[in-house]
Copies of this chain bind each other. A is one copy, B any other.
């Protein structure tokens, strides 16, 4: 079926909630209000207040409560209204969620997902435009994924909910309306039906996307463009333009930041001998630095030029639209860097 990125996420939620009674949703305004970005639309009506839990505005508390519930065998899916707010819950996520399995010597595990829109949208200003995925990928104990397509959003979210380790699942708000093919036997229209009335068997041949696997979105021979989430689309756009100039670019959609599929990245660079990594977060100290550092460590003899990096400007996100657009890496920024790397 062809559905939007938003609907793909909701579809995955529905199927997993139907499959496993222990899966529940918790977050701010996700129920009666239908979700700020409407990802959870109709789910309150479908599952009720027990499994679609509206909370006060208390991100640390929400994450902590979800974690406690996970320790008793439930499988919470926390919605961060925006991933920017995960900054408030940083201690709960880093010090508690990520570490308990280790600190308890494996006695306890924390099967929970924290998902929500991450990255800049449209003039949300400095406090609401963070890209948090790089911060979390840095933390041992967390798995971090950043899907760019409806199929990946669907498949990775199902994998995330079934994973026994905590998963950070970041969605880019600009992608919600993007449509794409999603392989699934269950019809999205189910969302409005009462629980149990769906075709239960349909979820048996379900489709998931494994963690730790990057996707080659386009094959090429001259340069590797490496990105994730919305930046994977920017890579595709740039690759198309390069194609017109006779340059064959390969596009690597990282998808999973942690675990990171280094081998696919290295194989691509060893083939093309040139690479540019693009990420929306502040360039200085951002996650793209890890990818670039890794490539030069592992593909040094294959590189014909330094690994290029394109990131967000190193400033708090300004409100004015013209300044905001300057900050977010664009196709042109990527092309400029790619041409520099191509020499």
Cα-based distance from A309 to B296 in the complex (angstroms): 11
Is A290 engaged at the interface, CB distance under 8 Å to the other chain?
A: yes
Q: Name the contact of A284 in the complex, choosing from B91, B284, B290, B315 (C-beta under 8 A).
A: B290
Residues 277-295 (chain A) with a chain B CB within 8 angstroms: 282, 284-290, 292-294
Query: How many residues of chain A have a CB within 8 Å of chain B?
Result: 47
- Specify the chain B residue showing the minimal Cβ separation from A277: B293
Q: Which has the most chain B C-beta neighbours within 10 Å: A141, A290, A300?
A: A290
Copies in the complex: 2
Query: Which B residues lie within 8 Å of A285 (CB)?
Result: 134, 137-138, 287, 290
Inside 8 A of A125's CB, which chain B residues have their CB? 103
Residue of B nearest to A138 (CB): B285
Q: Is A55 on the interface with B (CB-CB < 8 A)?
A: no
User: In the complex, are the beta carbons of B315 and A102 less than 8 A apart?
Assistant: yes
Q: Tell me if A316 is interfacial: C-beta within 8 Å of chain B.
A: yes
Assembled-state Cα–Cα distance A134/B289 (Å): 12
Q: Flag A285-327 by CB within 8 Å of B: 1 or 0 each.
A: 1111110111011101001011111000011101000000000
Question: Which residues of A are interface residues toward B (Cβ below 8 A)?
Answer: 87-88, 90-91, 94-95, 98-99, 102-103, 125-127, 134-135, 137-141, 258, 260, 282, 284-290, 292-294, 296-298, 300, 303, 305-309, 314-316, 318
